[in-house]
Chain A
Amino acid sequence: MLTSHRRTILLVEDSPDDERLTLRALNRLGLDMTIDVARDGMEAIKYLETCEPLPVMVLLDLKLPLLNGLQVLDRIRANPRTKALPVIVLTSSDEPSDINTAYKLHANSFVQKPVDFSEFSQVIGELGKYWFVTNVNPPTG
């Protein structure tokens, strides 16, 4: 029997405006994806502990309530269930210390959110296309 399940992306984002812009830009790609949203670090961790199947990738803001993005990343990598999950940090920060720490904690990629609206849309579009189409994601089993 052929089962197809839509691939899921987890967006971890506490700003409703950025959430809306990101969802719009991703949905515009017309790819067969579901986007789940967690609004703080704890919600993201809880989601990843129990979701079936795993998302194919996590888009992770760093500035989050309860548990910040770097702490979330650290926990994602510490959990065998999510150790290999592609995590793309998507944040307004371009602090070298944030960038370097994210990579030290084994983020796959670090993208700065453009301030400009149309640039934002373009960058998210390229990000979505790269990680959803070009990159071969680990099987989510």
Chain B
Amino acid sequence: MRSEAGLPWVLLAEDNSDDEQLFRRAFRPYATQFELRVATTGPEAVDLLKEEPLPVVAFLDTRMPLLDGFGVLKWIRSEPRLNSLPVLVVSSATELAESVGGYELGVSSFIQKPVDFDEYMTTVKTVLDYWLTVNRNPRPPVA
């Protein structure tokens, strides 16, 4: 349910500012319907997720200081109120064996970050299109 106070929101946990800017650009077509909130560390992401309402979807980079994407994912899946949240993990690692760990921890989707800037832009657009228009996200309970 949308609150009077604001738009439904999307969490991006990303410590690389270039990648954040790229994501914001790809997010622009959705900016009238959704708010984008960015955490640059794992603990910051956790803090944002402790608030109400929940985001509709969370994108977590695997590489973040203090607490990485998998750490945040593990915390999310341990919290009953967050357990149903669609969570994507984005990895720049070349070793895709990481994905096994992600799925074991309950990731909804695992994306590899292309090295090429234009390719990454396309990937983010595809990802946003899927999760914000095709996918039906869970409805958080109304207080």
| A interface list, Cβ under 8 A from B | 83-84, 86, 94, 96, 99-100, 103-104, 106, 108-112, 123, 126-127, 129-130, 134-139
Contacts and interface: CB of A to CB of B under 8 A. Distances in A.
Contacts of A100: 84, 138-139
Contacts of A86: 103, 109
A136 B138 contact: no
19 contacts: A84-B103, A86-B109, A99-B137, A100-B139, A103-B84, A104-B84, A106-B106, A109-B108, A109-B109, A109-B135, A111-B136, A126-B130, A127-B134, A130-B127, A130-B130, A135-B111, A136-B99, A136-B111, A139-B100
A34 B78 CA distance: 36
A99 B111 CA distance: 23
A109 B86 CA distance: 8
Contacts of B110: 135-138
Interface of B: 83-86, 96-97, 99-100, 103-104, 106, 108-112, 123, 126-127, 129-130, 134-139
B139 A134 contact: no
Nearest to A94: B136
Given A99-B138, A135-B111, A130 B126 contact: yes
Contact of A130 (B84, B106, B134, B139): B134
B86 A103 contact: yes
Nearest to B140: A100
A136 B108 CA distance: 11
A76 to B, nearest CB: 13
B135 A110 contact: yes
A110 to B, nearest CB: 4
B56 to A, nearest CB: 12
B112 A126 contact: no
